[in-house]
Structure 1
Amino acid sequence: MNKVKPTDFARSLSNYFFEYLPVQKGLSENTIKSYRDSMSVFLDYCEKERHLKREKLEIQNIDRSLVEDFLSWLEQVKNNSVATRNQRRIALNTFFKYLQYENPEYVLLCQHILSIPNKAGKKQTIRHLPIKAVEEILRQPDLKSRSGRRDFAILSLMYESAARISEIANLCIGDLHFERSGAIVHLRGKGKKFRDVPLIRDISSLLKNYLSEEKHYRPCDKMEPVFCNRDKEKLTRAGISYIFNKYIKSTRSAMPNLLPSKVYPHIFRHSRAMHWLEAGVDLQYIKDLLGHADLSTTEVYAQLNTEMKRKILEEVHPKEHQSSQYPSWTEDKNLMGWLSNFQDTH
């Protein structure tokens, strides 16, 4: 039986996922998974809608119109949002940027695909919680139980450090450095980038006490995870999300009108950034604390803060002082007459 010869597309795709993204680009496992999922959706479309079997797909079978039709299909048939459509496009673009260097003979093809524009959509609002809401969520864990104390440490560290949920899940005990003035947490961010975030004394003491207790139940060497489940295994992103959502539910029960309709773990990160900004922390420093590569990513918080202030000013502005109620200066006959005379004499 003859073996099926791999196509040029299959060879390039394999090298892209197993060599280029993880080794050369050093991307995180989560980012690679996201790119892989987008490519899987594209291949499903090629196979089911265009009858192009993935095992027989050649690079020459792909062109700009195919990718454009795929992006339209995402919106019109799969009912994906514009944001999701753009994310899929970015993921595909990463592959075709790689392909034009890996296979120079397809540079023109790749350039045509890369020229597909991003689609403008409704600007998403960054959601964040007021400090009162964060405080109420932190009151929910039962500090009389060991699991409650662990959960309180998780939630407190998530908020205080503005860490992503994956960064909390991947945290090792050796990443916590305790000092007299507080502690420093060493976070592994996107693209295997690292950053150090200082923690105040209260959070430092909380983590110290938590780890002191944990030593009685499991190994606490430097490479051991900071947070474990009841089986002494590292808490996953899903596990931390479950814990977070559990306390969101209990907060809603205690104070039904306090939280917005949608609350997700990443909202703690947004909330901390906004609270830093409101406290007067410099935007450049917030950028470093959040691990943003570009200041423009952080500036969205400043824009949001300015918009909030404007709305507050509008709400407290006296109704009788609204500009629509001011008499038009053109209706003042004395003023108009003076202006006419002034123009005639000059």
Structure 2
Amino acid sequence: MTNNALYFYRKIRDYLNIYLPNQRGASPNTIKAYREALNSFIDYIVSLENPLKQISFSCVSRDAVESFLDWLEQDKSYSISSRNQRLAAIKSFMKYASERDKTLMVLNLEIADITKKKNTIPHEIEFFSEAALSIILEQPDQNKRNGQRDLVFLIILYDTGARVQEILDLQLRDIHLDGNNPFVSVTGKGRKMRTIPIMEKTRDHLIKYCRKFHPYNQADDYLFYTDRKGIRTQMSADNVGKFIAKYGRQGHLKSTEVPEHLYPHMFRHSRAMHLYHNGMPLPLVAEWLGHSKMDTTRQYYANADTTMKQEAIEKATSKLNPLINGELDLDWEDDEELLKKLYGLK
């Protein structure tokens, strides 16, 4: 490996292992996201016939970063949001590197000048119906230990509306099942803590689950874990994604109400949508989701809001209304003069 390559990789190592956790106080999830972004960028540079052991700051340029971003969007089908997140990670690393090596200042300024791409496509969230939820929850095999665990995971994932990593990070100390108001304490983005109430039925499921899966009740144990040869480790998001996808395929065979391509974040959207449909005000939904800005919630649920209004209008319109019963028959097709007036041509 060349000296320039060693210098480049040491800067990345120090950035990820020292600067982000110790000086920025970044959360483990943020560090993981930045690591994945830098790995993707390096993989892209390698794909341009640059050997990994020879990659250095000389391989990094504004053109390289911009072509990497286009590659993510066009070849890898990344969303604009994901593209912008990768750009933010590269900018952050270059800013860090240039502050410690002034010879990189010009390169940092060139990359810092790359603007985020605006997303002009309305974001339409994916969610399933409450009827679909019933079918999904029937899929885990309750005769198997993993099936029992999966069912409780699906229940708490839906009931809390939390992000999958927030559920995976839950420890027994975060579960509060005593008293009349059971709740869980989750740590969200930016290490922000929020308290989420859970339903009585969810508490009952959690009590039974803990009796079987946590008989020793160690406060720092992860609520959900995997057990390999007697060694417990925190369950991974990949593991969750696999069994949720499997239950989605199984459920879809029984009813098309169940999305064929089911994924963890759909539970969060679905729970929020069901609460919103059933009367929870949007500001409360935003707080419950842990959105720091109401604009985020409005952006996600604007289309659903229009659908709800349309359904409400149709339900509130009497069947005697001529617009509903078909008594009103307006035949304008052959009236060219009227059509011109309607469209402002006359």
Q: TM-score scaled by structure 2?
A: 0.78
Structure 1 residue 185: deviation in Å? 0.5
Contact 1:274/1:301 (8 A) holds in 2: no
Given candidates 63, 67, 70, the residue that maps to 1:69 is 67
Say whether the 8 Å CA contact 2:160–2:198 is kept in structure 1: yes
Unaligned runs of 5+ in 1: 337-346
The one of 211, 216, 219 aligned to 2:216: 219
Deviation at 1:267, TM superposition (A): 0.4
1:116 aligned partner: 114
Distance in 1 between the 2:151 and 2:18 partners?
40
| Fraction of identical pairs, as percent | 28
Query: Over residues 101-151 of structure 1, what are the superposed CA-to-partner deviations in whole Å (9 max), with x where a residue is unaligned?
Result: 444665554233222233345444210111111122123334455544332
How far apart are the structure 2 equivalents of 1:150 and 1:204?
14
1:63 and 1:113 in contact (8 A); partners too: yes
Is the 8 Å Cα contact of residues 184 and 196 (structure 2) preserved in structure 1?
A: yes
2:251 alignment partner in structure 1: 251
**Secondary structure class of the residue paired with 2:261:** coil
**2:259 partner amino acid:** P
Q: 1:315 to 1:149 in 2, by over 3 A?
A: same
Match of 1:172 in 2: 171
**What residue number does 1:89 align with?**
87
Bigger drift between 111-120 and 171-180 goes to 111-120
Who is 2:225 aligned against?
228
Aligned to 2:155: 156
Paired letter, 1:306: D
The equivalences for 1:160-309 within 5 A come to 160-215=159-214, 218-229=215-226, 231=228, 233=232, 234-255=234-255, 257-309=256-308
Uncovered stretches (5+) of structure 2, i.e. residues with no partner? 316-322
Q: CA distance change for structure 1 residues 112 and 52 in 2, over 3 Å: closer, same or farther?
A: farther
Q: CA deviation at 1:177?
A: 0.9
Q: What residue in structure 2 maps to residue 138 of structure 1?
A: 137
Partner Cα distance (1:181, 1:43) in 2: 52
Contact 1:47 1:54 in 2 (8 A): no
**Contact 1:27–1:190 at 8 Å: present in 2 too?**
no
- Post-superposition shift, 1:244? 2.1
CA contact under 8 A between 1:150 and 1:210: conserved in structure 2? yes
The two structures, once aligned, show a CA RMSD in angstroms of: 3.6
Cα distance in 2 for residues equivalent to 1:42 and 1:155? 34
In structure 1, the residue matched to 2:318 is: none
Question: Cα distance 1:61–1:135, how it changes in 2: closer, same or farther (>3 A)?
Answer: closer
The one-character-per-residue Cα deviations of 1:24-60 (angstroms, maximum 9, x if unpaired) are 33333343233223222323443552748665623x6
Could you tell me how far 1:287 is from its partner in structure 2?
Answer: 2.4
What is the CA–CA distance in structure 2 between the aligned matches of 1:192 and 1:89, rounded to whole Å?
Answer: 22
Higher Cα radius of gyration: 1
Q: Contact conserved, 1:273 with 1:301, CA < 8 A, in 2? A: no
Q: 1:206 to 1:321 in 2, by over 3 A?
A: farther
Change (3 A) 1:6 1:74: closer
Cα distance in 2 for residues equivalent to 1:249 and 1:191: 34
User: In 2 relative to 1, CA 330–42 (structure 1 residues): closer, same or farther, beyond 3 Å?
Assistant: closer
Distance 2:332 2:275 in 1: 37
Distance in 2 of aligned mates of 1:97 and 1:314: 53
- Compute the displacement of 1:245 (Å): 2.6
Aligned residue pair count:
326
